[in-house]
Structure 1
Amino acid sequence: MKAEAWIFGVTTVFLVLVTPAYWLVTSAGNTGGDWTGTSALTMTGLLTLMVTLYLGFHARKMDPRPEDRKEAEIADGAGELGFFPPYSWWPLWCAATLGLMVFGVAAAAWWLLIIGGVLGAVALSGLIFEYYRGGHAH
């Protein structure tokens, strides 16, 4: 995680340098500067600083991963990487019911919102419990 901390650290330094420069460039000509862009750059810099501190703190607390060690071999990173789910139709039905609910609100057809909510509960239950039954059961 040290590499990731360095990447975010460099990004933080870049944003700290760019933000005042952006303010100066946009304040030319008595307009007072661009508050929207300056505040967006400031908040982005603070967010990258937060991620940098988080990754740096955890990089010191945990054992180095193979990609963090210079003497590591490719085989050191071998093994199970995690669970990757197969295809699923349930996200499509969840999105469709959400679209139906949003359309119901936009069209002031509250009955569509209720139908979408009921069908959405069924679709969300299917999405949550799809690995407990059928061919992909664990």
Structure 2
Amino acid sequence: MKPLFRSVHHVALICSDYARSKAFYTELLGLPIIREVHRAERNSFKLDLQLGPGIQLELFSFPNPPPRPTRPEACGLRHLAFTVADIDPVIAHLKAHGIETEEVRVDPHTGQRFTFFRDPDDLPLELYEDVRGNTTP
């Protein structure tokens, strides 16, 4: 069967503190802003960020969002992975800004290095080093 989908268009995250998360994703991680809108009828902001060609991260704010389980094996989205060419300078950048990362591990199936860190709402984010230039972890 021919695949139904061409690629991922966006990933949407709901944050508890919009200003803090906006600074984390734009200033610390350096994601460019595509657009930012305030949706008055929902008392909510929506921030579209550029992840890669044709791929966006949508950051939402809502008043009093319910908590979500963060255990790694909880049902639902497990983590969001970012492809990087060289993991070491990205880890150094995060650590210089007070963001802790887990120990770097090696994927036994691909031989690629990876690690995890957390966003301001404790959502798990992964750095996946792809030295081959492949954008698929």
TM normalised by structure 2 equals: 0.18
User: Larger Cα Rg: Structure 1 or Structure 2?
Assistant: 1
TM normalised by structure 1 equals: 0.18
Question: Whose strand proportion is higher, 1 or 2?
Answer: 2
Question: Whose helix proportion is higher, 1 or 2?
Answer: 1
